[in-house]
Structure 1
Amino acid sequence: MKVTIKDIARETGLSTATVSKYLNHIKIQENNRKLIEDAIQRLGYQPNRSAQMLRSKKTRTIGVLISDLGNYFWGPVIGTVSHYFTSRQYTVITCSYNFDKEREKAVIQDIISQNFEGLVMLPFDNQDYYYHLLQDAGIPVVLLDQLPVTRQKYPVDCVLSDNYNGCALLAEHLFQNGHTDICILNHSVHSYTVATRVQAVLDIYRQHGLNLLQKPYDCEPIIFSETQDVIFQNRQKLLKILESPAPPTAVFFTNYLAAMGGLSAINSAKLNIPGDISLVCFDYDPLFRAMHTSMTCVAQDLTALGNKACEILLRRISGDYSDFPCTEIINVQFHSGKSVRNLHAGEKALLNKTNKPAP
């Protein structure tokens, strides 16, 4: 016989109203919550989601909106959101619009028409303001990886990695190893995250009395489009820099797409890492494991990003806007690999040789 909420109420000694509140994600006393969860596990209760939706007029559907569904990098975030909400009896649907602004607007309008209860969104760039269409329709939305320029006009919750401090650590590592001629690869147009990362590098070097903008490596910015096209743009850009009369001693990849293109260029140029060129990257990509020389990089905690977005979104769905709008910054982790050559070591060896007394 199918277990009902009346059975849960009888098992716990609580009212059916209290059990119903729990099942509809309304806050109840902590001891009652534990009693209900224990009873659900013992009795094997499975909620009738169709009946719940009919009574509440809610679809219990959460969306994840991403510009490029083929971009594997964000897989852990999508997986985290899916696990978080499906474990709470929601359906999670992932949507994409392939960098097409008009397609994005159409997808959002479709989400509104299907009455999604909430959305986690990876915006196209910091100019992307279509999220306000969801808000206008009463659908909560949390943005990942960007701070939109329209957030003052259209306040929105955002979750980002600590882009500035992560890149500051990488820049300081390069400087302390003697690298003053560096190339920052991937000056992306309209990307808050990339702009923040670049600014961190410039600030660290300015603190040491160097202006990297005076270097000849500040080329045309990357324009985000299809993922493979961005990788190709980075490859061609770095090949041109490496073929210059005075190439840099190190390359700073501002994200994994820059790294994918840059590593392809370095491989084509048959350069040794770190003997011929040193590298650092903001992002840890699984493909780095295939490198003969481990990459010095900063890793984002993609699971923490996803979980924080879900926590905020669930609060908004339940009607809690006490801290709206909030911007959460997730810590990153520095990984000291072997892709940076210590230029001071060579100078020290030469100095010791020069000062060595004659036999």
Structure 2
Amino acid sequence: MSTIQEVAKRAGVSAGTVSRYLNGHQLKASNRIRVEAAIEELGYRSNYLARSLRSKQSMSIGLLINNMLNHFAVSVVAQVEREMELNDYNIILSGFREDREVFVRKLENLIDRRVDGLILFEAIEDDRARRLLEQSGIPTLSISNPLPYSCVDNMLAANRASCREVTGRMIEAGHERIGILAASQDEYVSRERLAGVLEAFDEAGLPRKNAVVRIGGYERECGYRDMMALVNEDGMDCVFVLNYGRSQGAQQALNELGLRVGEDISFACYDYLDTKTYFHPSITTVCPPSIEIGSRAAREILSMIEEGRLGSGKTTYTDEDIAWLPSIIGLKGC
């Protein structure tokens, strides 16, 4: 039985090129002609369909995502899709926009489509969803937000550990009072990040009240307003921003106040960009591991399908990348 790799070898192109052709993407004329000839010679399409029918697999993965405008989520989805292409799988992408009823309905729709595996991003805990997953017998992986179900495995970023480490380094640099811009504590990731900050104060033997926390929305304007308050009302000269949108507003506030990062104020944040390139001076940044989580999630769900293995309630963590740059006054080695 021919495989996508054999088609690629016969055509003299990469497996990714063959996958793009099969998924309707435009190729250079020369590549398209070679791929079509190889498919016809090897009978790849008929073998693909026969394999699907014999195995009773749909060769598809259901991907249910909360917010399709979220940069981290989009990066994860792109990486999952790339891995699936290389393994002859398609993804069925659906969103639920923080709506519990939509989440349950779309989860049921994906199960009814007989997908071979499910990847849930920022899933909502719901008894109806739990029953659907338990009864479906479909391998399921939850990303970003853990589900406490015995039939689901979880794959998370190590948010708590990263925030504990950055805060600890700030304390080591001599900052015993630190301003914290956190997001709503209704969400798991936000709670984990703030918990990591507070653990660093505990480990240093400092009172938690020394973490001057302002909680607000994810929007840039909320970060701007709260950063102004930390400086003007709370007198902070060291700030850690725990999410991307708020960090953009915070940096705008610092610019307007004329405060120089790394000279007048210590500053660290979460970001998706390489701050070494975009900002001067460079900013100590925690970068969510979207590419690594996307790749690991795709490989794990494919492994579960191949082995006939359902979720068991286990949780694995992926380390975040911390770029230690000269934005924390007194911190050695940056």
Q: Do the aligned partners of residues 99 and 236 (structure 1) sit closer, same or farther apart at CA in structure 2, a change above 3 Å counting?
A: farther
Please point out which of 206, 225, 228 is paired with 2:202.
206
The offset of 1:69, in angstroms, is 0.9
The offset of 1:197, in angstroms, is 2.3
TM-score (structure 2 length as normaliser): 0.76
Q: Do the aligned partners of residues 73 and 270 (structure 1) sit closer, same or farther apart at CA in structure 2, a change above 3 Å counting?
A: farther
The answer as to 2:207 corresponding to 1:197 is no
1:76 maps to amino acid? S
The answer as to 2:241 corresponding to 1:242 is no
Contact 2:172 2:331 in 1 (8 A): no
Counterpart of 2:167 in structure 1 is 171
Greater mean alpha carbon deviation, residues 86-95 or residues 47-56: 47-56
2:44 maps to amino acid? Q
Please point out which of 180, 191, 196 is paired with 1:184.
180
Q: Do the aligned partners of residues 193 and 128 (structure 1) sit closer, same or farther apart at CA in structure 2, a change above 3 Å counting?
A: farther
The offset of 1:90, in angstroms, is 0.8
CA–CA separation in structure 1 for the residues paired with 2:127 and 2:270: 26
1:301 maps to amino acid? P
Q: Do the aligned partners of residues 144 and 290 (structure 1) sit closer, same or farther apart at CA in structure 2, a change above 3 Å counting?
A: same
CA–CA separation in structure 2 for the residues paired with 1:258 and 1:45: 54
The offset of 1:143, in angstroms, is 0.9
Contact 2:160 2:193 in 1 (8 A): yes
Q: Do the aligned partners of residues 193 and 155 (structure 1) sit closer, same or farther apart at CA in structure 2, a change above 3 Å counting?
A: farther
User: 1:189-216: CA deviations, max 9, x gaps?
Assistant: 233333222222222222222113255x
Counterpart of 2:112 in structure 1 is 113
Q: Do the aligned partners of residues 335 and 100 (structure 1) sit closer, same or farther apart at CA in structure 2, a change above 3 Å counting?
A: same
CA–CA separation in structure 2 for the residues paired with 1:4 and 1:210: 64
Please point out which of 148, 157, 164 is paired with 1:161.
157
- Percent of aligned pairs with the same residue? 23
Total equivalences in the alignment: 296
CA–CA separation in structure 2 for the residues paired with 1:131 and 1:314: 22
CA-atom RMSD in angstroms: 3.1
Q: Do the aligned partners of residues 210 and 129 (structure 1) sit closer, same or farther apart at CA in structure 2, a change above 3 Å counting?
A: farther
SS of 2:137's partner is: coil
Q: Do the aligned partners of residues 76 and 163 (structure 1) sit closer, same or farther apart at CA in structure 2, a change above 3 Å counting?
A: same
TM-score (structure 1 length as normaliser): 0.71
Contact 1:186 1:234 in 2 (8 A): no
Counterpart of 1:281 in structure 2 is 269
The offset of 1:58, in angstroms, is 2.6
Larger Rg: 1
CA–CA separation in structure 1 for the residues paired with 2:127 and 2:320: 27
SS of 1:342's partner is: coil
2:205 maps to amino acid? G
1:161 maps to amino acid? A
CA–CA separation in structure 2 for the residues paired with 1:233 and 1:249: 19
2:155 maps to amino acid? V
Structure 2 unaligned runs (5+)?
Answer: 7-37
The offset of 1:142, in angstroms, is 0.6
Contact 1:169 1:334 in 2 (8 A): no
User: 1:102-141: CA deviations, max 9, x gaps?
Assistant: 222232222122222212111156x566652344322222
